[in-house]
Structure 1
Amino acid sequence: MTSTRSWIYVCAALCAGLVTPIVSAEELVEESIDEEFGEALVEEEPAAAEVGGFHLQSSLAIRPFPIGLALRTQGGFKKGLFESDSPLLSGTYIDGGISTSLSPAAFWAGPYLELLPVAVLKLKVSANFMTYFGTWGYLYVPGDAAQDWSLDALSASADQGLGQSTTGMMVEAETTPQMKVGRVVFQAPTTFGWMKMDVANNYYEPIYDLFFAPEDTYWVTRPTLGYLFGENPAESFVLLGVRWEHTSIANSGVVRDTVGLLFNWKLPSSYLSWGDASISGFGGMHIDHPNRGELSPYLGIQAGVKLF
């Protein structure tokens, strides 16, 4: 147990040192950034025999408003389902493996299972064990009933070293209707989740930038409409889109809406000989944020590489 904790703290310190010249890393990055949006719909549909094998991808995400950082990895094995010329069945697969998320404040890890039974619907279930180091003022547990998780309160928690070291568990199920018509792409991922944290009171969770009860359920939907630019989108493209995100948490009673613009640039393969690289981001505004006013800015950038 001691060696495991030491390894986690070393990784967190290295992760913080990597980006210190760019941003002070206080939080994990919210799920609003989606580097895969559009890529699965743009690539030419392969046959089932060509869909499969081991894969590994990694991404570094930075969020300036509010400040955040995460290093994410996902590795697993994918197997094609059907050998068919039908546009609905070609390229379908089942995929399972392990995903992790690391920041100077926390570490997540757990298994996932993803299924694409038809081209227009993706399903995913995952479970994560979460550990928070107590650094950077997180996990933030207010000492009163005000449930104040404003930016000033979070900054004060970091300055005063009030972060709580603890562990938790999260289980999520996600369904994603998706389609591509010409150069127009659409996705509407909707996540249903359950989270339990070993704390006595309601707390602020930095990954989702939301306030939860010690045991809570929630749902998040992110419909996104985009357009592809590029002469050969199967090789490289720039996707620009609009996104609305709605989040509702059952026990804490928090409801939040975010609207904004999304981009995803899949770099040409000639730019990187050892992997497929992409840069993506999402910028917008929280509308009627529960305690940050009518308009609260959000901005996140993510760079990712698929190694194989």
Structure 2
Amino acid sequence: MKLSQSWLYVCAALCAVSFASSASAEERVDETVDEAVEKEVGAAASADTAEFGGFHLKSSLAIRPLPLGLALRTEGGFKKGLFESASPLLSGTYLDAGISTSLSPAAFWAGPYVELLPVAVLNLRVTAQFLSYFGTFGYIYVPEDAEKDWSLDALSASWDNGLGQSTTGMMVEAQATPQMKVGRVVFQAPTTFGWIKMDVADNYYEPIYDLFFAPEDTYWVTRPTLGYLFGRDLAESYVMLGARWEHTSVTNSGVVRDTVGLLFNWKMPSRYLDWGDPSLSGFGGVHIEHPNRGEISPYVGIQVGVTMK
């Protein structure tokens, strides 16, 4: 996928999941987290005004070291440029639609998405996902106790004792992302409203989001992020360093969570691969007053990815 105009983002695919782990209960400290690496602010593109569009394929291998997690994310679709304009607000705008999938040792997600960039400072995206959990590695975890315990000890016991439930579900998300780039400073604030329904009898713990949901629930998440771009030629390669605050609220289960941390994204030079643009991304931070992790609970994630040319 080609880089767009100098006022636009090339959003890095940054996500890691919390599925398979061979760590002991003591080693699992509390990094069973949300998506440890999120979609974050990317880089500015070249100043050229070349047209862009057509079919594209993006794939990323998400790896988290603590505890060990693994997932393969793939997104393929068709992108169509909307305007031929020299205006920084309209140049590079597009409509994109396709299919996204996520595969891990514990689950498979798949479904359509539609993404619209009507102006450079606002990205809109809607996704619908079919969710299938295999019952492996203790997920999906449905607590049996009256307290609905989803502490780290309870999650470790679920994994050790093979208590995961195989099940299916559906999830729909709508996301609006205000975004801006001034010089080398980039800002975005993706805000997501979601609906999720799972075929389970009681409240359950979902490992990708590290949240406790009712069988049918709604939630919203906002992730303001501020970053700075380093590099001579941002169209060829850059390193983005930034800070992020995340607030999450779940309606029916009543879970509220705040997270702060630092992230990086290295878009490697394309000469490293003939068939794609590689990147290395990571996020490290702490949950503040996590409902079941304590007042301060750290986590870390890292991802390697390739955007197919």
TM-score, normalization by structure 1: 0.88
Corresponding residue of 1:31: 35
Corresponding residue of 1:101: 102
Residues 56/20 of structure 1: CA separation in 2 closer, same or farther (3 Å cut)? farther
Residues 238/58 of structure 1: CA separation in 2 closer, same or farther (3 Å cut)? same
Q: Percent identity?
A: 77
* Structure with greater helix percent: 1
Query: Structure 1 residue 32: deviation in Å?
Result: 4.5
How many aligned positions are there? Answer: 286
Equivalent pair of 1:29/1:68 in contact (CA under 8 Å): no
Equivalent pair of 2:36/2:299 in contact (CA under 8 Å): no
Corresponding residue of 2:188: 187
Structure 2's unaligned 5+ residue stretches are: 1-18
**Alignment partner of 1:175 is 2:165:** no
Corresponding residue of 2:116: 115
Show the 5 A alignment for 1:267-282.
267-282=268-283
Residues 144/29 of structure 1: CA separation in 2 closer, same or farther (3 Å cut)? closer
Query: Structure 1 residue 120: deviation in Å?
Result: 0.2
Show the 5 A alignment for 1:1-308.
30-34=34-38, 37-39=41-43, 42-44=44-46, 47=49, 50-308=51-309
Query: Structure 1 residue 98: deviation in Å?
Result: 0.2
Residues 36/188 of structure 1: CA separation in 2 closer, same or farther (3 Å cut)? closer
Query: Structure 1 residue 186: deviation in Å?
Result: 0.3
Corresponding residue of 2:7: none
Query: Structure 1 residue 238: deviation in Å?
Result: 0.4
CA offsets 1:119-149 (integer angstroms, 9 cap, x no match) = 0000000000000000000000001231211
Equivalent AA in structure 2 for residue 241 of structure 1: G
Equivalent AA in structure 2 for residue 232 of structure 1: D
Secondary structure, counterpart of 2:65 in structure 1 = strand
Structure 1's unaligned 5+ residue stretches are: 1-14
Residues 103/279 of structure 1: CA separation in 2 closer, same or farther (3 Å cut)? same
Query: Structure 1 residue 66: deviation in Å?
Result: 4.7
What stretches of structure 1 move > 4 A for 4+ residues in a row? none
Query: Structure 1 residue 62: deviation in Å?
Result: 1.7
Equivalent pair of 1:29/1:63 in contact (CA under 8 Å): no
CA offsets 1:47-83 (integer angstroms, 9 cap, x no match) = 4x71211000111112234543211000000000001
Aligned counterparts of 1:66 and 1:219: Cα–Cα separation in 2: 26
Secondary structure, counterpart of 1:156 in structure 2 = helix
Aligned counterparts of 2:163 and 2:56: Cα–Cα separation in 1: 39
Equivalent AA in structure 1 for residue 253 of structure 2: S
